[in-house]
Amino acid sequence: MSETIIEQLIRPEIRALKSYHVPDASGLLKLDAMENPHAWPGALMSEWHEALAKVEANRYPDPSASALKAQLRTLMQLDKLEQESGQNLDILLGNGSDEIIQIIAMALANSERGIMAPEPAFVMYGMIAKFVGMPYHGIDLNEDFSIDIDTFVEAVKAHDPALIFLAVPNNPTGNVFELADIEQIIEASNGLVVIDEAYLAFTESDLLELCAYHDNVVVMRTLSKVGLAGLRLGFLIGRPAWLSEFDKLRLPYNINVLTQTSAEFALQHYDALVAQTRELCEERTRLFNALMQIDALEPYESEANFILVRCTGKPAKEVFEAMKASGVLVKCLEGAHPLLSSCLRLTVGTSEQNAQMLEVLRASL
């Protein structure tokens, strides 16, 4: 049979891809995607709706979202970091940090110099490498999920990647990499290193200053995990020389008017979100301790809003299916990477949700 026009035109690596699958969570307790389980407190909810009522949806949004960027500068104390380091820093906004990963990859796309990340890692790094036609080099972590630094540095020298992603804390393992290892990778690299701090709100680690003191580092953050996943707002902080190049690839108006208005409002009331994330950190400790008591489970300590657990009795897929049949959706990582064999990733929910999840988990083992 002759090739169809689709087979002729669509790149083979795209045809070989599977679309990113988001499972249907209707009717289920959703603990699979690291969302904040809390809505905004009642009084804020009505104020937010009032702010939204004033939005002019017939007009394009502010293309540079300058008011929102000014708020983010204040939140992150960028002026202070600029003064201390003597280095100017800018912000680039994306429709989620996923879009920022894509923009950076498009800007650096090169069929010889690829993308590198420790594995297991956030799946989008590898997927976006394929989208833009870059080789992807996943370098296995140690069994305790720390970076195997000698192997990683050797791989950096051998492959000379254009782009390295380091998620700190890492998804799906939840741990924070050693600063000395991160610095060694930055020093060894002739490419750009993106420090992905998606889970910043749940850890003591804060690596923002690396982008001020190293000319090959940018730092990426998001509002998704602090309670605003539906807005889709990610941001990149870095030297103007990098960000002005990336900005050329950003589609105009990528941050819609509802997101700009809502994020501006949320940042004015950031304390409320911080209080929720603190509570989730306490819940994480309680959940971890409860998981430790269960014989057929091996939980890993986490500095994010999820906990990775290994099922030592039944295969994780069976546990996952049994939990789903009982109304609780978590993430099954079976098959994602050899280091994740028989692992589930549990998003930390409210205390009631965690109690329900634990009950169902115990019954499913």
The residues of the shown chain that bind ligand PLP, judged by CB under 6 A, are 34, 96-98, 122, 167, 171, 196, 198, 222, 224, 229, 234
Say which residues have a Cβ less than 8 Å from residue 220's Cβ, sequence separation at least 6. 97, 100, 101, 194, 195, 196, 197, 198, 234, 235, 236, 237
Q: Tally Cβ neighbours within 10 Å of residue 350.
A: 15
With respect to ligand PLP, which residue has the nearer C-beta, 196 or 303? 196
Supply the minimum distance, in Å, between the C-beta of residue 97 and ligand PLP: 4
Burial (CB count <10 Å: 0-12, 13-18, 19+), residue 13: exposed
Residue among 98 and 303 whose Cβ is closer to ligand PLP: 98
- In whole angstroms, how close is the CB of 173 to ligand PLP at the nearest point? 10
Looking at the chain, list the stretches that DSSP marks H as alpha helix, in order from N- to C-terminal side.
5-9, 12-15, 42-53, 66-76, 78-85, 97-108, 123-132, 149-159, 179-188, 210-213, 240-247, 257-268, 270-292, 316-325, 351-364
Residue among 234 and 360 whose Cβ is closer to ligand PLP: 234
Q: How far is the CB of 199 from ligand PLP (least distance, A)?
A: 7
Other beta carbons within 10 angstroms of residue 22's beta carbon come to 8
How far apart CA 77 and CA 294 sit, in angstroms, is 43
Q: How far is CA 184 from the centre of its chain?
A: 23
**Smallest distance from ligand PLP to CB 320, Å:** 18
Q: Which residue is nearest to ligand PLP (CB)?
A: 96
Q: Which is nearer to ligand PLP, 31 or 360 (CB)?
A: 31
**Nearer to ligand PLP among residue 146 and residue 326 (C-beta):** 146
- Nearest to ligand PLP of 122, 320 (CB atom): 122
Question: In this structure, what token pair is assigned to residue 191?
Answer: 């490419």
Beta carbon of residue 202, minimum distance to ligand PLP (angstroms, whole number): 12
Place of tokens 């195997």: 148
In angstroms, give the least distance from the CB of 13 to ligand PLP: 22
